[in-house]
Amino acid sequence: MATLELPGYRVVRGIRATPEEGLRNDVAGFLGQTMRGPLGMPVRVSSRRAYATVFGGQLATAATPRAVEAFFANEGEVAWVVRTGRGGAAASDVADLGAARRLTLPGDRLRVTATSPGAWANGTRVRVDYRAFGPAGGPELDVRIEVPGEPAVQRTGLAPDELLSAIATTGLVTASFEGTALTAAPGATGPAWLPWQLELADGEEPDQSREDYLDAVTAQAQVDEIALVCAPDLAGDLSAGDHDDVVAALARAAADGQDRLVILAGPSLRPDELTPWRARIAQAVTDAPQQRAVAAYAPWLLAENLMRTPVERYAPANPVGHVCGVIARLDRERGSGWAPANALVNDAIDVTTATFGSDPNVATEAERVLAMGQQVNLLRCRVGGGLEIWGARTLDPGDGRQIAHRRLLHRLVRAIRRVAEPLVFDTNGPVLWFTVVRAVSGALLEAFRSGFLAGETPDQAYRVTCDATTNTPDRIDAGEVVCEIGFAPAAPMEFITLRLTFGAQGLLEVVEQ
């Protein structure tokens, strides 16, 4: 750095150190139908464009694409999407290349196939132009791919051996050679230019079943980053019994992981619709740990119809994407311990009409009381106040009913796992116990300083015990380390106790007691 010899104002530019990415508790997971994309595989997307690149646009028969759009419209930042279904056919077509006598190719037919099953690629046009003499003096190929409703994609100036890889890089279709190999003989004659036109057809949508959704539940549970999970198409794809089985599986997976919240959408606030639906969910999600992992919202919202049909500008929209986006936004703005209630909802103009009481746009007080009494959070539109979430409760009517407490617990579990998992192979003894206590206490101290834990001092807000009292000789012989953690959320509530266990197989388990 140069020595400063004269007084004055100077700007010195330096390189700011890149901070370690913070612990995220705002990532959503969506399970359901999409226009295209891999089946059963979780894919991470961080914008509308990233979603459209992999999964395409809106789908008239599915709610998941609209829910993902609502998530990003409400300032959600990251989502994982699992396309459900199995089977289905990918659209394809074949072109005869036999007239290209000056080309050397592995086959005399070119088959182009959509990258994933579904009707989305039906009508896709693929044009391959062949030139016998390009600027470099050899044969060249140009490719143009036009998927209906999407911008065209082009690749130009390709050598023959680059054709397949260039088509694959589009992510829309793949190509392969079939039939008899073509070999250009010395001095061969033939057309100096040839176009080949293909139009893909016979694509079919995958079938949706209970097993497909259960596989998707398992897949999302293996993604540690997901903190909110929903299945917007679940009610429309499955029968009532299969729907409830999948809800139960979602609740079990969330309760076992202690790190995510399941978001459900009730049908409406009409007693003849809400009460039977809530009774079914109560039979599917029976015990308190699972009820604490699920939150329900009603009614559906009235949002812009993104299918762009002139007949219906606005259409009913499943609210789970909106709710996930709002929770994600508030998590980043205020923290996980803040109740996601009285929060404005974007990308919708009203609740669904013609579903309540004497006034089709306003729920009666009795209907609201019924919904709140059944642990269903309301979505309402107030004159001058906008559309907002009115309630932040889980399905648990007891001490685990506050979403803010559950979300705080989820964040603490994530923080504890991050600091404790590297210790699983350390020597089991007092040094390791002290290290565990220090690491876990650091995560709890951060929550206390953020105002999310009760008490005037850290000792009043939380306790961490990992010593000879929790690690008996039998535990040590079994290769386990047990750490008991208790903390009190800021709102009046009894202590929540967690048991942290390092297993003999190097696994970390967190159990709420």
The alpha helices in 127-203, defined as continuous H runs, are 163-168
What is the token pair recorded at 116? Answer: 């994933």
Helical (H) or strand (E) element with 273: helix 271-284
Nearest to 58 by CA among 270, 402, 315: 315
Does residue 299 have a cis bond before it (omega within 30 degrees)? yes
Whole-number Cα distances in Å, 144 to 71, 174, 196, 215, 509: 33, 13, 11, 37, 52
Half-sphere exposure at residue 88, Cβ-oriented, CA atoms within 13 angstroms: 28
Instruction: Answer yes or no: are the C-beta atoms of 373 and 408 closer than 8 Å.
Output: no
- The pLDDT, as a whole number, for residue 353 is 55
pTM to 2 decimals?
A: 0.87
DSSP string, 379-433: EEEETTTEEEEE--B-S-SSTT-BHHHHHHHHHHHHHHHHHHGGGTTS-SSHHHH
Give 217-269 pLDDT, tens digit per residue: 999 999 999 999 999 999 999 999 999 999 999 999 999 999 999 999 998 77
Distance CA 240, CA 221 (A): 23
Distance CA 266, CA 252 (A): 19
- The pLDDT, as a whole number, for residue 270 is 79
Distance CA 234, CA 437 (A): 42
- The pLDDT, as a whole number, for residue 297 is 95
Distance CA 253, CA 260 (A): 9
Give 335-367 pLDDT, tens digit per residue: 888 888 889 999 999 888 544 444 545 567 777
- The pLDDT, as a whole number, for residue 36 is 97
Distance CA 299, CA 319 (A): 8
| Residue 331, burial from CB neighbour count under 10 angstroms (0-12, 13-18, 19+) | buried
Contacts with 25 (C-beta within 8 Å, 6 or more apart), sequence order: 227, 331, 336, 407, 410, 411, 414
What is the token pair recorded at 104? Answer: 């050397």
Q: Under CATH, what is the fold of the domain 32-82+207-390?
A: Rossmann fold (3.40.50)
Average pLDDT per block of 10 residues along the chain, 513 residues long? 53 42 87 97 97 95 97 98 96 90 87 97 96 83 95 93 95 95 74 91 97 98 97 96 98 95 90 90 95 95 83 89 97 88 92 54 70 88 84 89 90 84 84 89 87 89 93 90 88 60 65 65
- The pLDDT, as a whole number, for residue 503 is 66
- b vs e for 289-316, b when ≥16 Cβ sit within 10 Å of the residue's Cβ? bbbbbbbbbbbbbbbbbbeeeeeeeebb
Distance CA 392, CA 340 (A): 6
Pick among 3.40.190.10, 2.60.40.4290, 3.90.550.10, 2.40.10.340: CATH of 92-199:
2.60.40.4290
Helical (H) or strand (E) element with 250: helix 240-257
Instruction: Answer yes or no: are the C-beta atoms of 391 and 341 closer than 8 Å.
Output: yes
- The pLDDT, as a whole number, for residue 357 is 44
Show me where the domains of the chain are located.
32-82+207-390, 92-199, 418-512
| Residue 9, burial from CB neighbour count under 10 angstroms (0-12, 13-18, 19+) | exposed
